[in-house]
């Protein structure tokens, strides 16, 4: 798939900037291979995505990056680099939720957040498949 340019990597979902999910003064174990731990910190998610983009850039154009992180951020707070504390796509921020089990308010209707995200991802995957025809 990668040789034909039909492989995609979806950037990690953003998370709400909630103190209980991302405690201050967290120190990561030195030399730890699990340097992101399981914290839901917007800054750590951004670092993970930046590292993935840097690594995968050496394989362009064979591996396509789908910017789910930027897409969700644009919906939730208006830019691809902002941090939000609430978003209807991920309604249970107090429990450090990163899943799309909320609603998406569109111009004329409200749909399940998972469907809204699924449509975005599928549109990009369809474009990748068609580009190889």
Extended strands (E) in the chain? 7-10, 63-66, 103-105, 110-112
pLDDT computed for residue 35 by the predictor: 45
Q: For residue 106, what are its two tokens?
A: 């569109």
pLDDT computed for residue 36 by the predictor: 45
DSSP for 73-92 reads: HHHHHSSSS---S--TTS--
Range scoring the smallest mean pLDDT among 14-28, 31-45, 96-110: 31-45
106 closest CA partner among 89, 92, 127 = 89
In this prediction the pTM is 0.77
The rounded mean pLDDT for the chain is: 78
**Residues present in the chain in total:** 133
> Angle at CA 38, nearest 5°, toward 87 and 83?
30
């Amino acid at each position: 798939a990668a040789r034909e340019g039909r492989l995609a990597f979806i950037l990690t979902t953003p998370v709400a900037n909630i103190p209980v999910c991302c405690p201050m003064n967290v120190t990561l174990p030195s030399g730890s291979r699990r340097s992101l731990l399981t914290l839901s910190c917007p800054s750590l998610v951004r670092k993970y995505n930046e590292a993935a983009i840097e690594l995968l850039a050496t394989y362009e154009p064979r591996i396509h990056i789908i910017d789910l992180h930027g897409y969700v951020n644009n919906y939730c707070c208006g830019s691809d680099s902002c941090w939000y504390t609430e978003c209807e796509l991920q309604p249970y921020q107090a429990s450090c939720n990163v899943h799309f089990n909320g609603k998406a308010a569109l111009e004329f209707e409200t749909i399940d957040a998972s469907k809204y995200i699924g449509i975005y991802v599928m549109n990009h995957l369809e474009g990748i498949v068609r580009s190889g025809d």
